[in-house]
Structure 1
Amino acid sequence: MRILNICAYTWAIGGPARIIYDHTTEVLAQGHEVDILSPMTPGEKSYTVPAGARLIECKRTTPISNFYREFSVEMYRYLKQHIHEYDVVHMHGIWHFGALAPFLIKNNAVKVITIHGLLDKWAVAHSKWKKQIVTILYQKRLLGKADLIQINNTDEEEDVIRYLGYRPKNMVIVPNGMKLSDYENLPPKGIFRQKHQIGAEQQLILFMGRLNIKKGLDLLLPAFKKVSEVLPNAVLILAGPDDGYQAETEDFIQKNNLGDRVKLVGLLTDTNKKEAFSDADLFVLPSYSEGFSIAVLEAMTCKIPTVVSDRVGFGDYIKKHNAAFLTTLNSEGVAEGILKILQDKSYAADIVNRAYKMVVENFDIKVVANQLLEEYKKVKKIG
């Protein structure tokens, strides 16, 4: 089977790129072929490409791509010339040109769309007027025409039904997975702390994600202010690229004299990211909207206790396994969760154990990749 993934395959985009990487690694091991078609902006760093896969980079076409995400004439030309060579074209996300282009060209490939949480109420309300235009022009119609819609959980199922007004028969729940072996041997403790002048006695709270309001930074920052008044050794690390909320973050830090307690360390990749996981005492993501947070799954795999909202993409699993402190979406709830974990070691150890068990039993990429491959094959009996 020859598979084409379409996604902005960059470190900055985060989760979807990691999902494609892990899935591709397993699919290649089974003898299939995988290409990744990625719209790119000059200066962006492409995500690591699995050995045996091929990354095809296409320049975004400006200024149109500033208004219509990931618009790329190069992408369209590539698809026009090569789409007939693929058995499966898998589009990651909606609202962007990569989720439209394969429908503009006559082809017999199985067309798959993964929603990645982009139809939840918060996501739909963000840049609402643009999404209303896209909805009217084509988005609902194309979702109905897709051969397969992959969703990760029952929350997404409700989102799709609410958006379309009916339950499409081509929709299946297949969670995202993790290559667990990548996190079996983390770097030695202390490296990240030394790099960023964080003492061994300090309690390191780690946020990892794009600096975007949807990640709940407007809740986390005032929550940490409360925490810092109770725990004078606590430090908050914000690891991720600016995505529209860095200026507000820096302003909050300055106004509240938290410059020595909150550190912005930028995007962490590869070994640097694992060093941060190795040194973290707690991971926090009070997100308003996630398709499926790979960062939370990574933290749980690294046996770090987590404070998260139930909107991280697998909240139903977390509730079932009691695998994290599930915060309400307010700063008081976030502060309560952070303090509970940092002050109660027995509680922290319990949720770490439950979370790791949940990940192993439900999100091993070997199991998940096979589920998705079987769904590909069901559509047109390919492979």
Structure 2
Amino acid sequence: MKIAHIGQKGIPATFGGVDFHVEELSKRLVERGHKIDVYVRNWHTDRKLREYRGIKLIHTSTIRTKHLDAFMHSLTSSLHSVSQDYDIVHYHGLGATVFCGLPKISRSKVVATIHGLDWQRGKWGSFAKVFLKFTERTATYIPDKTIVVSMSQKKYFESKYKKEFIYIPNGVNIPQGKPVSEIIKEKYDLNGEDYLLWMGRLTPEKRVDWLIKAFKEIKDRVPNLKLVIAGGTSATDGYVKTLKEFTQDNERIIFTGYVAGQEKEELFSNALLFTLPSYLEGLPIALLEAMSHRLACLVSDIEPHREIISGGVDGLFFQSNSFSDFVKKLGRLLENPERLRNIGENARRKVKKEYNWDEVVRKTEEIYQELI
């Protein structure tokens, strides 16, 4: 089959769960004999890069502003797709689906994956939220099949729109072995198991501000402990600036920016604890990655997290609306390193069994085949 993906920023993925999802899906579909095109944004992917691991990269234009970037790239990519004779055009994210009717002009079948309720994200203003809420309808009614990545999304959409949605979760690659802390030792003076880790996009719904405040309250209990915040802006420069101003006098709080490759592997493999205090998620790939590295994870008790973790067995929860509970649970965990190790082992076993990329690809390929 000839398949295109629209909605991601681009690959190779450097940040954002959608990009990682598309990369993992695409490279495995290529291995299964399909022809895969991925539409990329010029500011994200080097214009000279036209192919990656057998995947054709198609550069289409956009306007790089917070409100127009994704909208314009979806428009130009969708228009381009009409002339490409695709069997399947697969859209990712609610906003991108506003133009998902265009490929049907050339009789391509359309699939959409909803990765989260984007209109709930704190970075958007009122007009953008109204627009993104409208695209729930385009994602529901125009595609031939619509996929959701969490059971909470499936319940939400099926209850609201009285239509079947297909559940296929994100996956994770299971690391082999534990890399030594060479890069992170040189760049950040990290030795291993001497830091808390957060990784992702620095957006308000991730509540990194909570994590920083909590760390300041408990840091004196573990004098050599550091906090590593790995990630960067996602059209949220003001929020990121506020976070850095709040921490500028604290040398034990480290902002790495976006990380990838060996550096990312070292950060996951050598951390003491991973935390994710978000009030909104789809199905977070960063959490799955942390668990795959045998990391104990302390997360808010929102529904997407509860789908992944069995509390007290392969991860731990705090009450999502209670900062004091977050601080209390964080402090208790740091006093019990043996419990952290046991939970981490259970976490790895869980994701290895239930969040396998090959299974994700098999189920997605089945959907494509049903439509052709």
TM range (shorter): 0.7 to 0.9
Aligned pairs for 1:269-348 (under 5 A) are 269-311=260-302, 313-319=304-310, 322-329=313-320, 330-348=322-340
Give the partner amino acid of 1:324.
G
Query: In 1, are the aligned partners of 2:198 and 2:228 still within 8 Å (CA)?
Result: yes
Give the partner amino acid of 2:97.
A
CA shift, 1:320, in A, is 7.0
Kindly provide the CA deviation profile for residues 264-311 of structure 1, in whole angstroms up to 9, marking residues without a partner as x.
Answer: 111111111112123211111111222221111111111111112244
1:247 maps to which residue? Answer: 241
Structure 2: 5+ residue stretches without partners:
none
Q: How far apart, CA to CA, are the structure 1 residues paired with 2:226 and 2:81?
A: 48
1:189 maps to which residue? Answer: 181
The answer as to 2:164 corresponding to 1:166 is no
Query: In 2, are the aligned partners of 1:4 and 1:88 still within 8 Å (CA)?
Result: yes
Stretch moving more, 12-21 or 360-369: 12-21
Kindly provide the CA deviation profile for residues 33-82 of structure 1, in whole angstroms up to 9, marking residues without a partner as x.
Answer: 2111123436889999751111112221356x744634136424422322
| 1:350 maps to which of 342, 357, 363 | 342
| 1:130 maps to which of 128, 131, 156 | 128
Q: How far apart, CA to CA, are the structure 2 residues paired with 1:296 and 1:142?
A: 26
Kindly provide the CA deviation profile for residues 111-160 of structure 1, in whole angstroms up to 9, marking residues without a partner as x.
Answer: 111111125x8339943432324545x65145212111111222111332
Q: Matched residues, percent identical?
A: 23
C-alpha distance 142-21 of structure 1, shift in aligned 2 (>3 A):
closer
Query: In 2, are the aligned partners of 1:24 and 1:50 still within 8 Å (CA)?
Result: no
Query: In 1, are the aligned partners of 2:79 and 2:102 still within 8 Å (CA)?
Result: no
Query: In 2, are the aligned partners of 1:227 and 1:339 still within 8 Å (CA)?
Result: yes
Stretch moving more, 30-39 or 44-53: 44-53
2:80 maps to which residue? Answer: 78
Query: In 2, are the aligned partners of 1:192 and 1:279 still within 8 Å (CA)?
Result: no
Q: How far apart, CA to CA, are the structure 1 residues paired with 2:201 and 2:71?
A: 18
Aligned pairs for 1:108-147 (under 5 A) are 108-118=107-117, 122-123=120-121, 126-133=124-131, 135-136=133-134, 139-147=136-144
1:17 maps to which residue? Answer: 19
2:37 maps to which residue? Answer: 35
CA shift, 1:226, in A, is 1.2
Query: In 2, are the aligned partners of 1:152 and 1:313 still within 8 Å (CA)?
Result: no
Give the partner amino acid of 2:271.
A
C-alpha distance 76-301 of structure 1, shift in aligned 2 (>3 A):
same
Give the partner amino acid of 1:53.
I
Give the partner amino acid of 1:57.
H
CA shift, 1:222, in A, is 0.9
Aligned pairs for 1:80-119 (under 5 A) are 80-82=82-84, 85-95=85-95, 98-105=96-103, 106-118=105-117
What's the RMSD between the two structures over aligned residues? 2.8
> How many residue pairs end up in the alignment?
364
CA shift, 1:107, in A, is 2.9
